Amino acid sequence: MNTMPGRHFLQIPGPTNVPDRILRAMDMPTIDHRGPQFQALAERVLAGIRGIFGTTNPVIIFPGSGTGAWEAALVNTLSAGDKVLMYETGHFASLWKRLATRLGLQPEFIEGDWRSGVDPAKIEERLRADTGHEIKAVCVVHNETSTGCTTRIDEVRAAIDAAGHPALFLVDTISSLGSIDYRHDEWGVDVTVGGSQKGLMLPPGLSFNAVSDKAIAAQKGAGLPRSYWAWDEMLEANGKGVFPFTPATNLIYGLAEAIDMLNEEGLDNVFARHQRHAAATRAAVGHWGGNGGVEVLCQNPRHFSGSLTAVMMPDGENADDFRKVVLENFNMSLGNGLSKLNGKVFRIGHLGDFNDLMLMGTLAGVEMGLELANVPHRKGGTEAAMDVLTKAAKTAKGA
């Protein structure tokens, strides 16, 4: 469908470049989802996906988008009018809040600057003030895809604990799962929301809820109506290796392959690779903007994202004009700035099935795009990125 020569560079922060192994695994005849062959596959996938979330508890797999998994996390655990504490890390946190409002919940939004992750102190402060425990859940986006800021989930957990608050802890890992270190069990998360089309290297169409025992127990008192997203029937059926309604069979084929690929590389290696690419990208951006041009949106180095880098344009330059130049000249899709960042930011996705040379092609496309779009910048960003990569390679060799 792509009519320009060569391979398209899909460098939005998801969907990501689906590897051939996964596309081919999905390109097989659909089978009977009630037969023994599918049952064996389901059991393999339902077991394997737990390791990716860092949990020994069940992970529920929905046919649907990540937005559906947001909804599922809420409707299974909450009741109409419940207060939920959310944190404005950026566009996607805002969308989740809007979704909560539409479902009849009362989200309270801690204001953020869209240039950093969550400040755990603010969470703790708010929870301490909630002596009546009206807040039923704390909802946080692990890696805010609109800004490239990653929240320290362990610190948020510690904040909740410090406040001695019984709220459920719900975390969105849509753009971090399988890319950035994440530990559902260790970090005491009750519901982790995930999607297929980022670090899992699949096309969109599957979404996930990893659930704690506390979350499972919360279903009983949760009054929001639910059926499609209801965990109870899903957990019961999954226990027998089936699904309560027709699963997205061919995406399940791909998921099995994706889990194998992540385990073959080793999750720690996967995470380190993403950190390396993020560091190289920031080195390039830093170089290009050395004279006061582009800059990395995220201002807190402890929150730098491993899976994407959002880049602020210099004043007066339109990010979408720049992205158009890049797409038309270099066959590369970059992410756009969302809502209040619209036109001001572009986003470089460096997650999923990705390697050093794909990154260098990507960064060269950005550097040449800046040139063609007449955006002020200092040449040499790609060289700066290569320094990061070669240093990492030398260190790896030394190790």
Which residues 161-220 are close enough to bind a copy of itself by CB under 8 A? 195, 197, 203-205
393 Cβ contact partners less than 8 Å away, ≥ 6 residues apart: none
Q: Kindly identify the residues of this chain, within the stretch 303-342, that bind a copy of itself according to CB under 8 A.
A: 327, 329-333, 336
- In order, the DSSP letters of 341-373 are GTTTEEEEE--SS--HHHHHHHHHHHHHHHHHT
Q: Considering CB under 8 A, how many residues would be counted as binding a copy of itself? A: 105
Nearest approach, Cβ of 269 to a copy of itself (angstroms)?
8
CB-nearer residue toward a copy of itself: 43 or 154: 43
Neighbours of 333 (CB within 10 A): 16
- When binding is defined by CB under 8 A, the residue of 149, 351, 365, 377 that contacts a copy of itself is 365
The answer to whether 158 contacts a copy of itself (rule: CB under 8 A) is no
The answer to whether 383 contacts a copy of itself (rule: CB under 8 A) is yes
- In order, the DSSP letters of 48-112 are HHHHHHT-SS-EEEEES-HHHHHHHHHHTT--TT-EEEEE--SHHHHHHHHHHHHTT-EEEEE--
The answer to whether 299 contacts a copy of itself (rule: CB under 8 A) is no
The answer to whether 266 contacts a copy of itself (rule: CB under 8 A) is no
The answer to whether 106 contacts a copy of itself (rule: CB under 8 A) is no
Nearest approach, Cβ of 139 to a copy of itself (angstroms)?
14
The answer to whether 291 contacts a copy of itself (rule: CB under 8 A) is no
CA-to-CA dists, residue 220 to 9, 79, 168, 298, angstroms: 47, 10, 14, 40
Residue whose tokens read 């089936």:
242
- Under 8 Å between Cβ of 49 and 386: no
- When binding is defined by CB under 8 A, the residue of 54, 58, 64, 120 that contacts a copy of itself is 64
Q: Kindly identify the residues of this chain, within the stretch 21-50, that bind a copy of itself according to CB under 8 A.
A: 23-24, 26-37, 41
- When binding is defined by CB under 8 A, the residue of 20, 186, 213, 236 that contacts a copy of itself is 20
d(CA 43, CA 46): 5
